[in-house]
């Protein structure tokens, strides 16, 4: 007789791990986008908002490097400088990026509506709150300070400069697991507004929820999003949902204000022995 048993976790969500910009603060993920544009402008190679946003979620130096690898940007760079951008150019731009980013972070650090309510409900059910980010620790310190004043204080924060490799590697999520004393990765949920951030959670073995409207995918402040004509708003929203589902998200919703039904569903699936 050939048979085997299979072990499965049945229990509540132990931790929810949130991204920062576009997820809990900075509706539209504006702060990094405006600075990437400025850094390239200073090198005489203007880039579009779309080019600036493409690699969002990765470590900011990696992000700059990935922009320099876009065909159209390389062509414009070569036309301006007589040669393709090098690693030294990327280093120089990241050096410019750091003080510019530090300077504007507080302009974009307001909490996204729904954050405090979601965190309160998760904690009431016994879940812990972790965070990860493509920002370095000195940049994150500003977000942490401003968010704390507004009432958001995560139990653990891991930044791109705390780990050997940032997103889409699972390092930051798994460091949160260690920091939070979580026993089981499939009892964790990663929530993010970018595809590299969804991949980070999937690579860590976690459930994932993509946020389509509040972050980099639509890429507009809350006021500008509300000003869009209905047809335009629906078109941009639908495109963002498609990209996040194609990126592997288990669930996609508009913003952090809409996550609770997803968390209920994940707990029901865990109770049935399902895994991410
Ligand atoms: Mg983000």
Residue 123 is predicted with a pLDDT of 98
Q: What CATH number was assigned to the domain covering residues 15-29+109-271?
A: 3.40.50.1000
Sheet containing 156-159: order of strands: 156-159, 128-133, 15-19, 188-192, 207-211, 251-253
Q: Which residues are catalytic?
A: 19, 60
Is-contact 52 37, C-beta < 8 A?
Answer: yes
What's the whole-number mean pLDDT along residues 122-132?
98
The reported pTM is 0.93
Tell me, in angstroms, the distance from the centre of ligand 1 to residue 8's CA.
Answer: 31
Residues 6 or more apart whose CB falls under 8 angstroms from that of 118 comprise 256, 257, 259, 260
Q: What CATH number was assigned to the domain covering residues 31-107?
A: 1.10.150.240
pLDDT digits (tens, 9 = 90+) for 48-76: 999 999 989 899 999 999 999 999 999 99
Judged against a pLDDT cut of 90, whether residue 1 lies above it is answered with: no
Tell me, in angstroms, the distance from the centre of ligand 1 to residue 127's CA.
Answer: 21
Place of tokens 């908002």: 49
What are the residue ranges spanned by the domains of the chain? 15-29+109-271, 31-107
What's the whole-number mean pLDDT along residues 216-236?
94
**In the chain, what percentage of residues exceed pLDDT 90?**
97
Is-contact 254 213, C-beta < 8 A?
Answer: yes
Tell me, in angstroms, the distance from the centre of ligand 1 to residue 35's CA.
Answer: 15
Residue 3 is predicted with a pLDDT of 94
Place of tokens 């047809």: 231
Tell me, in angstroms, the distance from the centre of ligand 1 to residue 135's CA.
Answer: 9
Tell me, in angstroms, the distance from the centre of ligand 1 to residue 273's CA.
Answer: 30
Beta bridge partners of 128: 15
Number of neighbours of residue 238 by Cβ within 10 angstroms = 11
**In the chain, what percentage of residues exceed pLDDT 70?**
100
* pLDDT mean across residues, the chain: 96
What's the whole-number mean pLDDT along residues 125-153?
97
Residue 147 is predicted with a pLDDT of 98
Residue 206 is predicted with a pLDDT of 98
Q: Which pLDDT band holds residue 274 (cuts at 50, 70, 90)?
A: very high
């Amino acid at each position: 007789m050939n048979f085997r048993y299979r072990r499965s976790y049945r229990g509540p969500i132990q931790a929810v791990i949130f991204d920062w910009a576009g997820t809990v603060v900075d509706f539209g993920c504006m702060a990094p986008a405006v600075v990437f544009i400025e850094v390239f402008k200073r090198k005489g190679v203007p880039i579009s908002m779309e080019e600036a946003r493409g690699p969002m979620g990765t470590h900011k130096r990696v992000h700059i490097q990935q922009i320099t690898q876009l065909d159209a940007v390389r062509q414009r760079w070569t036309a301006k400088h007589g040669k393709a951008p090098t690693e030294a150019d990327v280093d120089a731009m990241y050096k410019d990026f750091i003080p510019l980013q530090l300077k504007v972070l507080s302009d974009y650090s307001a909490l996204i509506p729904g954050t405090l309510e979601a965190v309160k409900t998760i904690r009431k059910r016994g879940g812990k709150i972790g965070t990860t980010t493509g920002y370095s620790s000195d940049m994150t310190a500003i977000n942490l300070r401003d968010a704390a004043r507004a009432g958001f204080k995560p139990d653990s924060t891991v930044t791109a400069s705390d780990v050997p490799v940032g997103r889409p590697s699972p390092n930051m999520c798994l460091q949160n697991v260690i920091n939070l004393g979580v026993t089981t990765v499939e009892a964790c949920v990663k929530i993010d507004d970018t595809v590299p951030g969804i991949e980070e959670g999937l690579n860590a073995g976690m459930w994932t929820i993509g946020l389509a409207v509040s972050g980099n995918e639509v890429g507009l402040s809350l006021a500008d999003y509300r000003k869009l004509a209905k047809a335009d708003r629906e078109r941009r929203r639908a495109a963002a949902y498609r990209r996040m589902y194609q990126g592997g998200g288990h669930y996609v919703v508009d913003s952090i204000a809409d996550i609770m039904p997803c968390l209920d569903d994940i707990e029901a699936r865990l109770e049935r022995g399902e895994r991410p």
